[in-house]
Amino acid sequence: MSAAASAKNARFLGRSNQGGRPDGVQVILHKGHAFVGHMFSDGYSVIDVRDPRHPKTVAFVAAPKSTRSHHLQIHGDILLAVNGPNIWAMQQYASQQDYYAKSLIDSVHTEQPFAAGLRIFDVSNPATPREIAFLDMPGFGAHRTWWVGGHYAYVSVNFEGFIDHVLAVIDVSDPARPKLAGRWWLPGKNRAGGETPPPSFGKRTALHHLISAGNLGYAAWRDGGFTIHDLSDPPNPKLISHRNYAPPFGGGAHTPLPLPKRKLLVLADEATSANCANGLAYTWLIDMREPSNPVSIATLPTPADEDFCAKGAKFGPHNLHENRPGSMQTEDLIFATYHNAGLRIYDIRDPFQPTEIGYFVPPPPERIVDQRPNPAKVIQSCDVFVDTNGVMYLTDTNAGLYILQYEGR
């Protein structure tokens, strides 16, 4: 581990530059291999991590030109990969902040071809993924998915005629023949249908993704807050409740992690501005004993071991370890990425007084591959996956994959 890194209860094991494509977003483990979606490279990579101290990149699966596959899901031997425009490579924005300032349909204008939909692979041999299907969904494509087996995957999709991403329910009971089974959106998103967004939509109301637990679904809508749904009939989600803390807070609802045994929801609001220009973003702990009336009871402590707002680039929450089947499943610990503050580990056994018990802050990236305007040479920790042995896989948009061992209580 570099002397420039700092850590507590997290021990460095290894690092991969992902075959020269160090731009990582979502990471999922399958059969001793880390599958990493890319922010700027059009496709995803597969890294053999059976020896975590010596990871080896074994495959890069290219997406169509100008198409991102930055978010992935795996169950059994089936991988779902989103397809949507690589908006950064298209040089659409004068600053990163522009991406978050208004609806996608109003901010992206391109004549470049790209694929829009969901691509499905057989990964029974992890080193040689084999494409078996593509579900074309015209528009600006898919952003993120949730699928842990069963008939239905929940996908955020910007359909043609809509102003931004909405919920799509995809029937994947036959992975070789996926089909759209249902849709749901907050009123005001279907411009082609004559809907007008209400003023409460804020800067950008778009589904980031939905996570299900039993018959309930928890969805984060960026500046549109979060919703709770009855999923007893998956193709026809029914709204139970909708809450929005923006304003007075900054919005950016990103990851809704349910803790069903404890009847809690952990909601990470994504930090979207450099140097805290829009204020701090928070990760909320929400009492879900009554789904029709969710109540915020605490926030995770904001890292304060250095002046992260002055460090450069974004500081604050991005993603959470999502307790997927086959990974570490805990309702007492939260593993969270905090952009330039690296990986943070929290103990929430007392949900009214959560405490930080560990962290890993990588050194600055060796080089910048970030295609967004004016990138700073600092880490931007993106996603974390924790296996059943407490091995943590941490991605970065410039610094590749860090492999760490959790050593806390």
Q: Among 35-39, 112-116, 170-174, 180-184, whose mean pLDDT is lowest?
A: 112-116
Is residue 2's pLDDT more than 50? Answer: no
What average pLDDT does the segment 259-267 reach? Answer: 98
Q: Are strands 166-171 and 152-159 parallel, antiparallel or unpaired?
A: antiparallel
Q: Are strands 216-222 and 43-48 parallel, antiparallel or unpaired?
A: unpaired
Euclidean distance between CA atoms 380 and 391, whole angstroms: 20
Is residue 3's pLDDT more than 90? Answer: no
Is residue 342's pLDDT more than 50? Answer: yes
Q: Sorting pLDDT into bands at 50, 70 and 90, what band is 1?
A: very low
Q: How do residues 362-385 score in pLDDT, each as one tens digit?
A: 999 999 998 877 889 999 999 999
pTM: 0.96
pLDDT of residue 26: 98
State how far the alpha carbon of 289 is from the alpha carbons of 258, 346, 407, in Å. Answer: 12, 22, 32
Kindly list the domain boundaries of the chain, sorted by start residue. Answer: 6-406
pLDDT of residue 92: 66
Is residue 55's pLDDT more than 90? Answer: yes
Is residue 104's pLDDT more than 80? Answer: no
CATH topology of domain 6-406: Methylamine Dehydrogenase; Chain H (2.130.10)
What mean pLDDT is reported for the chain? 94
Q: How do residues 115-154 score in pLDDT, each as one tens digit?
A: 999 999 999 999 999 999 999 999 999 999 999 999 999 9
pLDDT of residue 91: 66
Q: Among 188-202, 243-257, 267-281, 391-405, whose mean pLDDT is lowest?
A: 188-202
